Amino acid sequence: MLNEAIAANQVPGLVAMIVKDGKIVYQSSKALRTFLHSKNGKGSDLPKAGSQTKAITSTAVMMLWEEGKFQLTDRF
0.75 exceeded by the pTM?
no
Does any domain span residue 18?
yes
Does any domain span residue 52?
yes
Query: How many angstroms separate the CA atoms of 69 and 61, rounded?
Result: 9
Does any domain span residue 75?
no
Does any domain span residue 76?
no
Does any domain span residue 21?
yes
Question: 11: left (phi > 0), else alpha (psi -120 to 50), else beta?
Answer: beta
Does any domain span residue 6?
yes
Domain that holds residue 18: 2-66
Q: How many domains does the chain have?
A: 1
* pLDDT per residue as tens digits for the range 16-75: 888 888 888 988 888 776 555 555 544 455 556 666 778 888 889 999 999 999 998 988
Does any domain span residue 36?
yes
pLDDT of residue 43: 47
| Per-residue confidence band for 13, with pLDDT thresholds at 50, 70 and 90 | confident
Q: Which amino acid is at 20?
A: K
Query: How many angstroms separate the CA atoms of 65 and 69, rounded?
Result: 6
pLDDT of residue 63: 92
